[in-house]
Every structure is written in structure tokens, then in C-alpha cells.
Chains A and B, each alone.
Chain A
Amino acid sequence: MICRMLMGALLRQRGRVLTITLTMALGASLATAMLNVMMDIGDKVNQELKAYGANLSVVPKSVSLISDLYGASDDGAQENAAPEKYLAEDEIAKLKTIFWAFNIVDFTPYLQISAKVSGPSGTVEAQVWGAWFDKHLDTPTGESVDTGMVRMKSWWDIEGAWPARDDPSGAMIGASLASKLGVKQGDRISVAAGHLGEAVVSGVFHSGGSEDDDLFVPLPLAQEISGLRGLVSKIDVSALTTPENDLARRAAQDPNSLSRHEWDTWYCTAYISSIAYQIEEVISNARAKPVLQVAESEGAILQKTQLLMLLLTVLSLACSALAISNLVTASVMERSAEIGLLEAVGASASEVSFLVLAETMIATLAGGVAGYLAGRGFAQIIGHTVFGSAIAAKGLVPPLVALLVFAVTVAGSLPAIRLLASLRPAEVLHGR
């Protein structure tokens, strides 16, 4: 009987049921879209912040302070340099084997040498960096990665172009060095440091930093010129990280001070300090230093963005919940005549409440399902318009939305049901 009454009520009052369903669908789609975007915003903004460049720099443990400060040591020293002042190039691919390998977005090794660079209008002593411009790498885990400076120096203003992949002599020259040497795109320059090498300027860049005085050449060329075969002097790593907390700060001071349980938590969270620790584990003789300018700021901005989205989500959900329960209340109250009739023929208040609640619930559930699907669409539209990539659908969203739909329906029906239960059948039926 209940089922028949339910079906009858739903079918007869198609218009009203449709209104509730539609409203709930809208609310649910809003909730789905907001929750999905909110849960994915961290990753998305993190990706955007990668434009600030590397947040980890991997250097040899025993790097001498002198060369770090002056950048210059005489040519002889480079020739018979102790290998422990460098990192091995063939170990770089191991970065992709650490626990948080997936979070390592980009990396580029650099070999820093000081060399005499000659162009049409003279010879100057300059910093020359051997680097990967655009490198294809097959990792030990069978993945293939494309990385290099092209991806990590996105803020450079370039006249010309980055050297083509596997171009053995294409070079990028800083704007102020280029004007000292009088070279432009396509010119040949010679580089001498122990051995002599030749490079072709592929692009001139403005970075607004000290790099404007430097020359970047392919890594094999720099290794050949300096005689440092298979060696690099630092690796810049760009990693997606979780904002630091107390645990991460303590671990950064000394990982051994943590308890076993804390250590596990720390190691298995993508804190910058745990990623640095894991890099030191796989690359021999290396020290991974978080670049605080990037790492700290990233954390601060991520936290603010997440908090902002969270608050926006909660507040707008609260508002839409209010609006929807408002509507549910209105539509339930409209049915006073029908309820009055039911009570007049002997239905108890609880039976009537159950009937009304069940009806509303069926309508809202249908709306909720439709809304969830539409919300997924909304989230994708937002993701593609703003970030140019899809928003990952999180598994936590459907139960949350279901809970929300349920709570809003019950909360919206309750005041109306209380009112209906207290109606006097005779008065209602009389039309007052």
C-alpha cells in the first residue's frame, strides 16, 4: 500500500517532484564540483608553482666553499679535480626510483666550469654551464621521462629557441654576455677550458638574474671541454611537496630524533625534507638541500589556497543547503490539503511523516545522482579552463555528496512535517 501511495504521489505530482529533483540536482552538482576542485587544488596549484623553479638542489657532500663562492677556480684544478667534488651523471636516473619518485616533476644536472668564451667582438672569462636542455631519459624502473631546462626555466625570455634535442653544440647565451661578445642567434662561439670546444648560439635569454652573464651548453660538450667526463656539479630538482608541519621541521633538523612511528609517517609523506633524505639515499656522495626561497613560499601559498577553497566550499555548500531545504519546506507545506485528507481517513502522524519523507527522499536522491554526474562535468570544465588539465575525481566525493543530500533533505523536510502533523484535518479540508 505504502509503495502504491508513493508511486501514485510521485507520478501524479510530476511537476512538483521535478522541481525538488532539479533543485537538488543543482545543489549536488555544485557540491560535487566544489569538493572535487577543492581536493585537487593542492596538486594543481603546486604544478603552477613549479614555474618558480627548482625547490631542491643536489650537490656533492664535499663541495668546496671556495668554488661555490667565487665560481672560479683555475683550469688546472678542474683537470685533476677530485671526483668526490662531483656527482656521477649515470646516477641521475635513480631520482626516479625513490619512494616519492612520482612527485619528482623535473630535474636537470649542471656542470659548472669557468672558461674563456670567444665571439666576434672579443674573449671574456665566463661561467659556462653544461646542462640538459631537453632530455629523454629511460629510468631503471622502465619509465621514460622528458625533462631538462626547457621545463625548469619557463620564465626566461628567449630570442631564438632552445637547442633541439640531441643537438651536440646548440647553446643558450645570457643577454649581457651576448652583448659583450657581440653574438646573436646562429653565431659560432668558441669555449676554452683545458680543451677547446665550439658551440652554436641557438637562443639568447633574459632571466633578470645573474644567469644573464652565463653560457649554457649541452652537458657532453661541457664535460669534454673540462675533461670531467661523466660528472656533474649539481642537480636541480623540482618536486611536488606537502606543506611542512612540526614533524617535518623536527625531521629536517635530525631524522634520527624521531620515534619509529613518526619516522614512518615522515618518510611516507611528501615533505621536502623526506624527499631530500630519499635523494641522499640513492645518489652516492650527495647532499640534497631544500631551496627555502621556493620551498617555504610554496608551502605558505599552498596552505592559503587550500584554506581559501575549503572556506569557499563550506560556505557555498551551507548556502545552497539552506536554499534547497527552504524549497523542500515550501513544497511540503503546499500539500496540507492532501495530508489533511490522509489524517481524516485515519492515518497517524508518524505514517504521514514517513510517507512525505519517503517521497521527498526519492525525488532528492534522483536529483543527487544526476547532480553528481553534472558536477563531475562542471569540475572538468573548471579544470580545463583554469589549469588546462583534468581534475582528478576523488573517491571521497560521492559518499560526502550522498551524506549532504540526505542531511539537507531531512533537515528541509523536518519543520514542514512537524507543521503538517499538527494540522487539524477538518480545518485544512475546509480550505482555511
Chain B
Amino acid sequence: MTRRRMFFKMLTYSLLRRRSRMTVALLSVAIGATVLLGMAAVSYDIPRQMGREFRSYGANMIFVASGEEALLRVDAAQRAAALIPPDELIGLTPYRYGIVRVNMQGYTAVGTDFDQAAKTSPYWSIAGEYPKAGGEILIGADVAEFTKLAPGSSMTVTGRAEDGTRFRLDAKISGTVRTGSVEDGFIFMPMPTLESLMGSSGVAEVVEVSIAADETELKRIVSEISREVPEISPRLVKRVTQSETTVLSKLQALVFLVSLVVLVLTMICVATTMMTVVLERRKEIGLKKALGADNRRIAAEFLGEGLFLGSAGGALGAVFGYMFAQAISMNVFGRAVTIDWRLPLLAVLISIAVTIAACLLPVRRAMDVEPALVLRGE
């Protein structure tokens, strides 16, 4: 009992009396833990955060009708979409195509849901606005150039409905869209408008889906949808999914490697600080030995100090590390970071381990000293 009291007393005094030196050591442990937790949290969170950014490439999954059917039912697509976890689903846009004529020139008319299209295809460059009312249309940049029509003017669209009757629509151009690919030659209109022209509703040629998930999760969703909603065949857009996987894995590997290098360096820094702290106390060790302390008691005392410094510095570092990761995440991605609760715990444990390991080496060397020599000042 008294031994234990004495142990704690010595520990407390050693920490209190040598305040400035202990602050230095504590700070260096805290800095090490900050970098450790911050980097680990960032590299852990990168696939999720960057994955969101990669959604600017557009849809990574499309739904088409299975079998020989050309059109799929939109309500079936909605049922399929319900199988996708809601926080992963970014957008779901149906597209229906029809052929129309403007001044005897044939064009492809596309019916879609513009709110969703803005989510699945954020790269569309719109001059003017998306159509809001039923009579408004969005024309491709090439169509605008060919017809010499600008947003605000009107366009007469004619064609034949599915049952063969002719239709005519005087539409107002709300804007033009430029993508650099086929969309530049299309005429877009709200889905209900195209449906009323064509004379049938509730169907689409293709549904584009943008999902924030990695390839394995996407494959799981594909197999689940094809099992649960057999009339829909979901397909991955390989160009997008495959490239995203390669780029993301490289980015994560990069941040991971960088973190590792930073980690090793800060750990060495912590270790050198601890070594200097211990080495200067050779005299004290010599005195204790002269008074009859055995090696184990001395080692235990230093380990106790290491444990205290490691856990206090680690806890401090965990708080700062969280702020570090949060600052990066907010600045780069504009979203809060998610931290696995195990990471801070791990950071504290590693700090303790490193501090103790850093103490052990010089303590062992110090224990070999002859008390008489040290005390005489040699």
C-alpha cells in the first residue's frame, strides 16, 4: 500500500516539478497523435467523399427493359430505385425518345424529368433555364445553331403520335444545353409534354441512375434489382464505374502512403523527444539506485510516466486530429467528415505504445549506469 502511494507520489512530483520539460514531451505526443488521427480519418473517408465528387461524371447505372421489350415501365423503375439505399441514390432520370420535325427537319425529342437530370448529369451546360411549364423546351446547342433560335423564342414542333395522328406543339425555348456529345442535337421537353404528344404515358426507353457507391456495392444493387424486379435489367456504365474505381483506389493509396510517411516521421520525433527527456535524468536514476531502488521499480516509474504522457497527449491529439480532419473535409469537400469511433481509440493506443517504447530504450541504458559514477558527475 505505502509502496503504491509512494509510486504515485513520485510520479506526480516528477510530472509537476519538471513542468516545462513535460509540456514539451506532452506537446510532441499530442502533435504526433493529431497527425496520426487526422491523416487516418482523411484517408478512411476519401472513397466516400471523393465518390460523391465523381458523381459529376453522370449516371453510373442505367435501367433498360429486359428481354426484347424496347420500353420499360417507369413505375417498375421506381420500385427498383426503392431497393437502392436512399442516402446513396443521387438521382434517377427517365428518358423517353420520339421523332419530331421542325421545319421539315427531323430531330430526336427527349422527354425527361429536369430536376432529376440536373442531378444525374451535372455537367450539362445550360444557357437560359431548364423548362418549367409544360409548353417549354430545352434545345441542344447544335439545334440552336442550325435553327438560329435563341432562348426566349418559340419553335413549332410537329410529328406523329403512336396511333398515327398528327400533332403540333408551339413551344417556348427556355434554354439551350451544351454537352459536346449527342445531347447537342436533341430537343428536350418535360416528360408529360412528350407523353401527351405521343399519346401514351408511364414508359421510358432508358432510366439513368446515379449512385454514390463503389463497384462492389453497385454490383450488389444490380443483382438485387434483377432478382426483385425482373422486368428491368440494370446495367453498369462501365466507362464510369471502372474508371472511378481505379482513380479512387489510387487516390486512397496515395493518401494512405503519405499518411504512413508522416506517421513514421512524427513517431520518430516523439521518440527522440522522449529519449532526451529520459536521458537527462541519469543523475536521478543513479540517486535512486544508490538509495536501494531495483531496476524494475525504476523502469515501472518511467513506464508510468510514459503511460500518462501517452494517454494525455493521445487524448489531446485525438481532439485536435478530429479538428484537423474536419477542417480538411469542410474545406475540400464542403461536407463533415465521418470518423469511425475506433480511430481515436487507436490513435490513443498507438501514442501510448510509442511513448512507452521510446522510454524503454533510454531507461534500459540508464539502468546500466553505476550510481557512484553518475552521482560524481561523470
Contact B58 A37 (CB under 8 A): no
Contact of A278 with B by CB under 8 A? no
A159 to B169, CA, bound (A): 48
Residue B157 is within 8 A (CB to CB) of chain A in the complex? no
Q: Within 8 Å of chain A (Cβ to Cβ): is B73? A: no
Bound complex: CA A284 to CA B267 (Å): 61
A129-156 contact mask (Cβ, 8 Å, vs B): 1 or 0: 0000000000000000000000000011
Interface string of A266-308 (1 = CB under 8 A from B): 0000000000000000000000011111111100110011011
**Given contacts A48-B246, A49-B247, A68-B185, are A19 and B276 in contact (CB under 8 A)?**
yes
Contacting residue for B258 out of A296, A382, A387, CB 8 A: A382
Instruction: State which residues 12-32 of B face A: CB under 8 Å.
Output: 20-21, 24, 27-28, 31-32
Encode A195-219 as 1/0 by CB contact (under 8 A) with B: 0000000000011110000000000
Q: Give A320 to B261 CA distance when docked, in angstroms.
A: 12
**Interface presence of A420 (CB below 8 A):** no
Inter-chain contacts of A45 with B (CB < 8 A): 247, 250-251
Knowing A23-B269, A52-B240, A208-B237, the reply to whether A331 touches B328 (Cβ < 8 A) is no
> Shortest beta-carbon distance, A105 to chain B, in Å?
14
Within 8 A of B (CB), among A31-61: 33-34, 37, 41, 45, 48-49, 51-53, 56-57
- Which of B125, B257, B331 contacts A292, CB < 8 Å? B125
Contact A316 B262 (CB under 8 A): yes
Instruction: Tell me if A161 is interfacial: C-beta within 8 Å of chain B.
Output: no
Question: Nearest Cβ in chain A — how far from B209, in angstroms?
Answer: 13
One of A23, A209, A312, A322 near B237 (C-beta < 8 A): A209
> Which A residues lie within 8 Å of B122 (CB)?
296
Q: Which residue of A lies closest to B61 (CB)?
A: A208
Is B2 part of the binding interface, using a Cβ–Cβ cutoff of 8 Å? no
Q: Which of B86-94, B102-110, B192-200, B366-374 contacts A (4 or more CB under 8 A)?
A: B102-110
B123 at the binding interface (Cβ < 8 Å): yes
Give every chain A residue within 8 A of B239 (Cβ-Cβ): 52-53, 155, 207-209
Asked if A385 meets B35 with Cβ closer than 8 Å, knowing A293-B58, A311-B327, the reply is no
| Docked-complex contact B237 and A48, CB < 8 angstroms | no
Does A79 sit within 8 A of B, measured CB to CB?
no
Instruction: Give CA–CA (A416, B30) in the complex, Å.
Output: 21
Alpha-carbon gap, A374 to B377, bound state (A): 39
Inter-chain contacts of A157 with B (CB < 8 A): 238
- Distance in Å from the Cβ of A239 to the closest Cβ of chain B? 13
Tell me the smallest distance from the CB of B119 to a CB of chain A, in Å. 14
User: Do B250 and A386 have beta carbons less than 8 Å apart?
Assistant: yes
Q: Complex Cα distance A157/B125, Å? A: 31
B355 at interface by CB-CB < 8 Å: no
Q: Mark interface residues in B22-64 (1 if CB within 8 Å of A CB, else 0).
A: 0010011001101100110010000000100110111000000
Contacts of B129 in A (CB 8 A): none
Q: Give the one of B105, B180, B186, B280 with max A CB within 10 A.
A: B180
Task: Pick the contact of A209: B238, B270, B324 (CB < 8 A).
Answer: B238
Q: Say whether, besides A48-B246, A69-B106, A312-B39, A319 and B181 are in contact (CB < 8 Å).
A: no
Q: Enumerate chain A residues within 8 angstroms of B333, measured Cβ to Cβ.
A: 304
* B124 at interface, CB cutoff 8 A: yes
> Nearest Cβ in chain B — how far from A307, in angstroms?
5
B278 → chain A closest CB, angstroms:
12
Q: Is the interface of B mostly helix, strand, loop or mixed?
A: helix
Does A11 make an interface contact (CB < 8 A)? Answer: no
Q: Which residues in window 115-157 of B have CB below 8 A to A?
A: 121-125, 142-143, 146
| Chain A residues, CB < 8 A from B275 | 19
Chain A residue with the shortest CB-CB distance to B177: A292
B236 at the interface (CB under 8 A from A): yes
CB distance from A57 to the nearest CB of B (A): 6
* A327 engages B246 (CB within 8 Å): no
Q: Which residues from chain B contact A91 at a C-beta distance below 8 Å?
A: none
Q: Are B179 and A304 in contact (CB under 8 A)?
A: no
A409 contacts the other chain (Cβ, under 8 Å)?
A: no
A319 x B258 contact (CB < 8 A): no
Q: How many chain B residues have a CB neighbour from A under 8 Å? A: 74
A324: interface (CB < 8 Å): yes
Contact A290 B180 (CB under 8 A): yes
B250:A208 contact, CB within 8 angstroms: no
CA distance A291 to B182 in the complex (A): 10
Contact among B53, B269, B276, B328 with A320 in the assembled complex (CB-CB below 8 Å): B269
Contact pick for B273, options A69, A70, A293, A327, CB 8 Å:
A327
Among A41, A65, A296, A333, the residue within 8 A (CB) of B185 is: A65
Given the known interface contacts A34-B258, A293-B181, the answer about A300 and B247 at a Cβ–Cβ threshold of 8 Å is no
Q: Tell me if B293 counts as interface (CB < 8 A to partner A).
A: no
Please tell me if the beta carbons of A307 and B235 are within 8 angstroms of each other in the complex: no
A326 CB-CB contact with B under 8 Å:
yes
B300 at the interface (CB under 8 A from A): no
Q: Which residue of A is nearest B186, CB measured? A: A69
The reply to whether the CB of B223 lies closer than 8 angstroms to some CB of chain A is no
Question: Do A297 and B123 have beta carbons less than 8 Å apart?
Answer: yes
Task: Please provide the chain B residues from 222 to 238 with a CB less than 8 Å away from any CB of chain A in the complex.
Answer: 235-238
Chain A positions 204-256 with a Cβ under 8 Å from a chain B Cβ = 206-209
Does any Cβ of B come within 8 Å of A192's Cβ? no
Residue of B nearest to A371 (CB): B265
Contact yes or no, B27 A326, CB < 8 A: yes
Minimum distance in angstroms from A72 CB to a CB of chain B: 12
Most buried by A among B247, B250, B261, B327: B261
Task: Tell me whether A169 is interfacial, beta carbon within 8 Å.
Answer: no
Whether A123 is near chain B, meaning CB under 8 Å from some CB there, is no
Report Cα–Cα, A208/B247, bound state, in Å: 19
The residues of B that contact A326 with a CB separation of less than 8 Å are 24, 27-28, 31, 269, 273
The residues of A that contact B28 with a CB separation of less than 8 Å are 323, 326-327
**Which residues of A sit under 8 angstroms from B273, Cβ to Cβ?**
323, 326-327, 330
In whole Å, how far is A419's beta carbon from the nearest beta carbon of chain B? Answer: 9
Q: Are B106 and A311 in contact (CB under 8 A)?
A: no
The residues of A that contact B181 with a CB separation of less than 8 Å are 57, 289, 291-293
List chain B residues, Cβ under 8 A from A41.
254
B56:A300 contact, CB within 8 angstroms: yes
A118 at the interface (CB under 8 A from B): no
- Cβ B106 vs Cβ A66 within 8 A: yes
Q: Does B253 lie at the interface of the complex (its beta carbon under 8 Å from any beta carbon of A)?
A: yes
**Complex Cα distance A26/B247, Å?**
30
Interface pair A315/B331, CB less than 8 Å apart = no
Determine the distance from Cα of A289 to Cα of B183 in the docked complex, in whole angstroms: 12
Which residues of chain B have C-beta atoms less than 8 A from A33's C-beta?
A: 258, 261
Q: A312-B258, A386-B254 are in contact. Are A65 and B125 (CB under 8 A)?
A: no
Residue from the list B57, B186, B235 in contact with A208, Cβ < 8 A? B235
A315 and B324 within 8 A (CB): yes
Q: Chain B 75-116 against A: per-residue CB contact (8 Å), 1 yes, 0 no? A: 000000000000000000000000000000111100000000
The 9 tightest CB contacts between A and B, nearest first, are A208-B238, A51-B243, A296-B123, A291-B180, A323-B269, A155-B242, A297-B56, A289-B180, A297-B57
8 further A-B contacts with Cβ under 8 Å, apart from A315-B324, A326-B31, are A37-B258, A52-B57, A297-B57, A305-B251, A308-B328, A311-B331, A315-B327, A386-B253
14 A-B residue pairings within 8 Å (CB atoms) = A33-B258, A48-B247, A52-B57, A65-B142, A66-B105, A155-B243, A297-B58, A297-B123, A304-B332, A304-B333, A327-B269, A329-B24, A385-B257, A386-B253
